[in-house]
Structure 1
Amino acid sequence: MLFQREGGLQVQVRSTIAALQTLASPSLEVELVDPNRQRIDGYDVIHVFSAINGNYRLVELAHELDLPVVLSALLSPGWNRAAGLRARIADRLVGRLTDWNVQTSYAQTRRALQLAQLVVALGPAERMALIDAFNTDPSKIRLLPNGISPHFFDADAGAFRRHSGLAGAFVLMVGAISPYKNQLGLVRALAAYEFPIVLIGHAQRQHQPYLQQLLASPKVRWMGQLQHDDPLLASAYAAASVLALPSQGEVFPLSVLEALAAGTPVVMTDESALSLPSSGFALKQLRWRDTAMLCRAINDFVAAPPQRAEVRALVSAFSWQRVASQIADCYTQLNRRRERVSHAV
């Protein structure tokens, strides 16, 4: 299912691979594995993206083959110590009721995290979730954020202005159209203001009624889905007065990083692994249900926007090349460890 949809995970996988392939390292070859056509025992190290959706089976197989695994966890930001305790209790109850023939998704995720040699967390918040909710060994966790493609830093607002016909202030939201993303909360929060709300993202069939509810507002403009490398997407970030992302939860949202790279301030949910020091002048994180605070924060940015150069500076170090170099170090470390064990045997 990985590439049957488009979103942040797909961008992360493709961008990571592309950046790794550009590294000047003759000892490193990287490719995307097709598990339906290729066996994983032909590789020295595998990198699994996401600890959920059945991926624990790949990690289990690699463990049986003594094949080192780097696992990018991509955990929901809602996991904490209390949630982990409740999940373990529920897991034991399910096991006893089904004579241990049924596993919870928590148990599968935890097993993947336990068997992986290195676990990648996108930020400090996700690292704490891994430790507190899943009892992951802290010594094998590496903090490696997502990167940002260079063209977002150079984005020009003109193309989107010409395409949309919008000349003044507007609020942008980029993401799948769904109640979880909470576009309707944004529309309701800004009901008293005149500036348009531009939505970019795909609406699945089950969310078409939700989309129609959004489009009932004369202020809403839906642009459909734009590909990640479409210059119009980068231009939309640069043209917007504010990017809003009041969803119920985000792991490490690329849309936020890309908007900041384009110099645009952001108002988003506080249910996220994203943490940028000294970013309060351009990044507001608040409870996703708090429409009053959402409205106030957006209006403040529209009325007094921060300097775009200062906003860009917040994420200037987030390049895919830098991230790829750190990931490559992880691969090398695991491969050398495996070779030492093989020689010892």
Structure 2
Amino acid sequence: MRVGILSYPMLFQRDGGLQIQVRETIAALNRVMPRTPRSLQVQLVDANHGYLSDYDVIHVFSAINGNYRIVETACELGLPVVLSPLLSPGWNRAAAWRARLVDRLAGRLTDWMVQTSYAQSKRALQLASLVIALGEAERTAIIDGFGMEESKIRVFPNGINPHFFTANSDLFRRETGIDRPFVLMVGSISPYKNQLGLAQALAGSNLPVVLIGAAPRADQAYLQQLLALRHVSWLGPLDHADPLLASAFNAAAVAALPSQGEVFPLSVLEALAAGTPVVMTAQSALDLPASAFALRKVRWDDGQAQRLAIEQLVAQRPERAAVQALVEQFTWDRVASQIADCYFGLQAGAGSLTALAGRGRRRHAI
């Protein structure tokens, strides 16, 4: 079976959690050893030269940025579609009511020439054969915010690369000279990620803030505001596989992610895998049972609560092995095996539909 992976065209022009998720998912899926006589080949679709009809199943990552059109085209060809929508857990019935109202107003004002991203995401969800949520909070958001039936939603989390579990602080200490407790924040430098709010909250706390992440051109002024604070240092962007990144997670006293919203943040999982406690935004789909001793959730705009949670974790740091145990089950190979079973199940159930669409497929470009 051939599976084609797609997302929006500009996805890999930057690097972040979604890019890592897509790359690691593909790599792990291609390591899956299907039961004979099943075979599995998974690859990114070249949207400029390839055809959706060359694949048996299409897997689309992200329900926004016009990706509903990919889902529509695949459905027209009779192909099963798996959708990983990556929706904010903030979607609920009230938010959905407001979004539908705005969509109707926009349509009437423009003679239905304008469609909101909410409407596009909902169409992608409705057409998809199977929807994969990263956690229970996203699953609830899909049901309450978009009216999806529970039966076609599966919950599979992200995975964690094994080297984060075995990292140590030596490389980071040697490269940076930082040998005291510090707070680490990994992510793109932007007001949405809220590095400045974190830094201001920790002013005078005797806890340096170390930032890792790319700074887009539009946010250079924001970066300069950060660097003007004496307790803030920036290491720039690091490749996800760079040993210095894993070492930084291990060396930190606390990792922080007080952004305005996250779905299932890899940086939090990686920090926990390195044995480092985390203070993160409450606006997230990540939910780990019995994790309060090492994972604190606070409002993104409550600097006082962020500082208090960080200082408490620094003062009473949990045992590293106990922190790592929270995420030991999150492996890319385990997730890939579950996703692969979904692919084969969809292929088996779509046989007649695929045959019906077969004759004219190769005339359809992406």
TM-score between the two structures when normalised by the length of structure 1: 0.98
CA distance in structure 2 between the aligned counterparts of 1:110 and 1:344, rounded to whole angstroms: 26
Letter in structure 2 aligned against 1:24: M
2:176 to 155, 159, 164: 164
Letter in structure 2 aligned against 1:164: T
Q: Deviations over 1:110-140 (max 9, x none)?
A: 1000000000100011011101111112110
Residue 19 (str. 1) matches residue 31 (str. 2): no
Letter in structure 1 aligned against 2:331: S
CA distance in structure 2 between the aligned counterparts of 1:20 and 1:234, rounded to whole angstroms: 24
- Return 5+ residue gaps in structure 1 as ranges: none
Q: Give the corresponding residue for 1:231.
A: 243
Letter in structure 1 aligned against 2:53: D
Q: CA RMSD in A?
A: 1.2
Residue 10 (str. 1) matches residue 22 (str. 2): no
Q: Deviations over 1:55-82 (max 9, x none)?
A: 0000000010010000001012321111
Deviation of 1:321 after TM superposition, in Å, equals 0.3
In the alignment, is the contact (CA less than 8 A) between 2:199 and 2:209 conserved in 1? yes
1:311 to 316, 323, 331: 323
Deviation of 1:95 after TM superposition, in Å, equals 1.1
Q: Secondary structure at the match of 2:41?
A: coil
Deviation of 1:342 after TM superposition, in Å, equals 5.4
CA distance in structure 1 between the aligned counterparts of 2:295 and 2:162, rounded to whole angstroms: 20
CA distance in structure 1 between the aligned counterparts of 2:183 and 2:64, rounded to whole angstroms: 33
Q: Deviations over 1:227-262 (max 9, x none)?
A: 000010000000000001000000100000000000
Q: Give the corresponding residue for 1:123.
A: 135
CA distance in structure 2 between the aligned counterparts of 1:342 and 1:207, rounded to whole angstroms: 47
Q: Give the corresponding residue for 2:277.
A: 265
CA distance in structure 2 between the aligned counterparts of 1:71 and 1:45, rounded to whole angstroms: 11
Residue 198 (str. 1) matches residue 185 (str. 2): no
Q: Give the corresponding residue for 1:74.
A: 86
Q: Give the corresponding residue for 1:216.
A: 228
Q: Deviations over 1:266-312 (max 9, x none)?
A: 00000000000000000000111111110011001111100000000
Deviation of 1:143 after TM superposition, in Å, equals 0.2
Letter in structure 2 aligned against 1:262: A
TM-score between the two structures when normalised by the length of structure 2: 0.93
CA distance in structure 1 between the aligned counterparts of 2:312 and 2:57, rounded to whole angstroms: 48
In the alignment, is the contact (CA less than 8 A) between 2:159 and 2:335 conserved in 1? yes
Q: Map 1:1-345 to 2 at 5 A.
A: 1-25=10-34, 26-341=38-353
Deviation of 1:94 after TM superposition, in Å, equals 1.1
Q: Secondary structure at the match of 2:101?
A: helix
Deviation of 1:169 after TM superposition, in Å, equals 0.2
- Return 5+ residue gaps in structure 2 as ranges: 1-9, 358-366
CA distance in structure 1 between the aligned counterparts of 2:356 and 2:191, rounded to whole angstroms: 55
Deviation of 1:344 after TM superposition, in Å, equals 9.6
Q: Give the corresponding residue for 2:6.
A: none
Q: Give the corresponding residue for 2:5.
A: none
Q: Give the corresponding residue for 2:363.
A: none
Aligned length: 345
Deviation of 1:156 after TM superposition, in Å, equals 1.0
- Which runs of structure 1 show a deviation greater than 6 angstroms over 4 or more consecutive aligned residues? none
Q: Secondary structure at the match of 2:44?
A: coil
Deviation of 1:340 after TM superposition, in Å, equals 5.0
Letter in structure 2 aligned against 1:180: Y
Q: Secondary structure at the match of 2:229?
A: coil
Deviation of 1:341 after TM superposition, in Å, equals 4.7
